[in-house]
Amino acid sequence: MKAIILAAGHGSRLLPLTLTTPKCLVEVGGRAILDHQLDAVAAAGFDGAVIVGGYRIDQIAAHLSTRDAALPTELVFNPFWSSANSIGSVWAAIAHLTSPFALMNGDTVFEPAILRAALAGDANGVALLVEPLVDAGLDDMLVEAKGDRVIAVGKHLVGHAATDRSLGLIVSHGGSAYAEALRAVIGEENGIHAYHHAVVARVAQGPGVRAVRIAPGAHWQEIDRPEDIALWERDDRP
């Protein structure tokens, strides 16, 4: 199982922190977001990580060169980072999408237990990690699930009742379902402007997607705005 980390975007909502620094290298609690992610990936027992970069990728490469090589890492360039949505970064990693993978956004930090839960799931098909919805935020990716089956995914679930919110953590234990859905979505009109959750929504309409709910109190945080840094630092624990 490899982690695929989507870290190509500019991160404009974190300005001025991202004026000269890629979002994944913004420090949270004294460490780069990417270091939080890679350390959690290593602690959870992954075999390696693929980082998809774009904006100031040279800085990401330099940063990776300073890390301990105990966790093998590969840096992949998304040349469409400034013109496509997050689905472009998934496309840049398509060579890794038929082997077991856990795909995550490059601005979200998880405690290792969440990643272990991702690894421990059913060894078939595609899964999306979610947590029960309490209050929907402006940036939440909403999910309607019935039991452990994902029915719909999107920022606006017209005609659906949101039950959970997505952690942006997608898991496949192998197979072609996810890659085939990616080709279908990105090949549609304006497909390059889709959020990568559109791929999950497409798989949910066909082979199906399992909803994996994290344990109550499990610690994760999307670092989308400067105030999110304070939220993680306030709640962070060893």
How do residues 179-228 score in pLDDT, each as one tens digit?
999 999 999 998 999 889 999 999 999 999 999 999 888 889 999 888 88
Tokens of 57: 């990728």
pTM of the model: 0.92
Instruction: Mark out the alpha helices in 66-108 (DSSP H runs).
Output: 87-92
Give the list of residues 6+ apart from residue 210 with CB closer than 8 angstroms, or none. 121, 122, 125, 126, 127, 128, 148, 149, 150
pLDDT for the residue numbered 213: 92
Residue 123 has pLDDT above 80, yes or no: no
In the chain, what are the domains? 2-235 (3.90.550.10)
Dump pLDDT digits (tens) for 36-50.
999 999 999 999 999
